[in-house]
Amino acid sequence: MVVDRIILVVEEKGVQDITRVGYPRAYSQRNPNEPIRVGVIGVGNMGQHHTRILSMLKDVELIGVSDVNIERGLDIASKYRVRYFEDYRDLLAHVDAVCVAVPTRLHYAVGMTCLHAGVHVLIEKPIAASISEAESLVNAAAESHCILQVGHIERFNPAFQELSKVLKTEELLALEAHRMSPYSDRANDVSVVLDLMIHDIDLLLELAAAPVVKLTASGSRASDSGYLDYVTATLGFSNGIVATLTSSKVTHRKIRRIAAHCKNSLTEADFLNNEILIHRQTTENCTTDYGQVLYRQDGLIEKVHTSNIEPLHAELEHFVNCVRGGNQPSVGGQQALKALRLASVIEQMALDGKVWDRHDAKLVEVSSPELSSSIYAA
């Protein structure tokens, strides 16, 4: 019997260009009672977390790992008592599912190889290094009838999921997103926009639920990498919502939070502390049974309950369930492509210092007509 293959693409350096490998199979041939055989390609920082969680998931069998760093690959394989494959292509024949963690610039080559092999793919964010590569991945997934999920992990953060529920009952006016980190040696092959800000771009697109019609962005470099390390962007949506995003790779404190300014409240979500606070202004008095005023309230703070589930655990469980049931993931290739398109324009705006407006033909040339039109059509 031929069984489904899943591939997750995670971050690892040194993966070489890959040729097309064919492993045909179909959903209808898969026994739903059999565990999904999984492998991990690239066991750097994120890849090790994928390996850890996949080794614990129910109805999932971790087969092996692959990494160009032989010592590291052997170490992780030994830790989880699985096989090590120096060439990840040799792993594909033995698995139904694989987690692949490669640098952004290699997402396209690795992802296309997996999809052409008829393998379901979870690829780390951003979906690809360019819009054309991302579109090819989306098209390849559709043609091969494969699941393509992108690792926008914050969608599975309990704080964001509860924030989404809270805002369904509020009239949203504006959004603020802050994502700051101290300098790190990892993920330095892309700018802060594609490394950090793209998380919040995806989240704000989901929360605003409207096309972007205006955009400004500025940024600066604080290192010799040649990429932007600090960027602030302001978005205007067609429904009147305004959003500001600030991301930094050079801030001496780690921050992950979104604030939602609503007509009747201010809701703050702290992703690091898994906490949501709703602030409401009030002028009510606390009185005794005899009407004596004991004190006056200037405001109320509500603390929203959130679960303690690890976001990556929820993300991988969702992916496996999509593969098992044939359902489309909540963060598929199309959603990730929207985030990448907007991120690309923000990055270009920050570099050029221009203001983008959908009605300003002169600024369309900043990226391309296709890219500019896709923002407000998203």
**pLDDT tens across 23-81, in order?**
444 444 567 778 988 888 888 899 999 999 999 999 999 999 989 899 999 999 999 99
pLDDT at residue 176 greater than cutoff 80 = yes
Beta bridge partners of 177: 245, 258
The answer to whether the CB of 112 falls within 8 A of the CB of 10 is no
State residue 118's pLDDT score.
84
State residue 95's pLDDT score.
79
Average pLDDT, the chain: 84
Q: Give the CA dihedral 87, 88, 91, 92, nearest 10 degrees.
A: -130
State residue 359's pLDDT score.
60
**Between these two residues, 221 and 187, which has the higher pLDDT value?**
221
Q: What percentage of the chain carries pLDDT values higher than 90?
A: 57
pLDDT at residue 356 greater than cutoff 80 = no
pLDDT at residue 374 greater than cutoff 60 = no
Place of tokens 């939602």: 260
Both tokens assigned to 190: 């892309």
C-alpha to C-alpha distances, 40 to 3, 10, 232, 330, nearest whole angstrom = 17, 8, 35, 22
CA distance 10 to 76: 15
Q: Give the CA dihedral 50, 321, 111, 20, nearest 10 degrees.
A: 120
Both tokens assigned to 302: 């509500």
CA distance 239 to 259: 18
Report the amino acid identity of residue 128. Answer: A
Mean pLDDT on 197-212: 97
- For the stretch 281-309, pLDDT in tens is 876 777 667 777 766 767 788 999 999 99
**Mean pLDDT lowest among 207-211, 273-277, 324-328:** 324-328
All structural domains of the chain: 5-124 (3.40.50.720), 156-308+338-377 (3.30.360.10)
Residue 271's pLDDT band (boundaries 50, 70, 90)?
very high
Q: Which residues contact 309 (CB under 8 A, 6 or more apart)?
A: 158
CA distance 328 to 32: 17
Both tokens assigned to 347: 């990055």
CA distance 300 to 125: 38
pLDDT at residue 360 greater than cutoff 70 = no
pLDDT at residue 266 greater than cutoff 60 = yes
State residue 33's pLDDT score.
78
Q: Tally the C-alpha atoms within 13 A of residue 289's C-alpha that lie toward its C-beta.
A: 0
CA distance 207 to 239: 12
Place of tokens 């026994």: 31
**Between these two residues, 185 and 215, which has the higher pLDDT value?**
215
3-state secondary structure the chain: CCCCEEEEEECCCCCCCCCCCCCCCCHHHCCCCCCEEEEEECCCHHHHHHHHHHCCCCCEEEEEEECCCHHHHHHHHHHHCCEEECCHHHHHHHCCEEEEECCHHHHHHHHHHHHHCCEEEEEECCCCCCHHHHHHHHHHHHHHCCCEEEECHHHHCHHHHHHHHHHCCCCEEEEEEEEECCCCCCCCCCCHHHHHHHHHHHHHHHHHCCCEEEEEEEEECCCCCCCCCEEEEEEEECCCCEEEEEEECCCCCCEEEEEEEECCCEEEEECCCCEEEEEEECCCEEECCCCCEEEECCEEEEEECCCCCCHHHHHHHHHHHHHHHCCCCCCEHHHHHHHHHHHHHHHHHHHHCCEEECCCHHHHCCCCHHHHHHHHHC
CA distance 119 to 24: 9
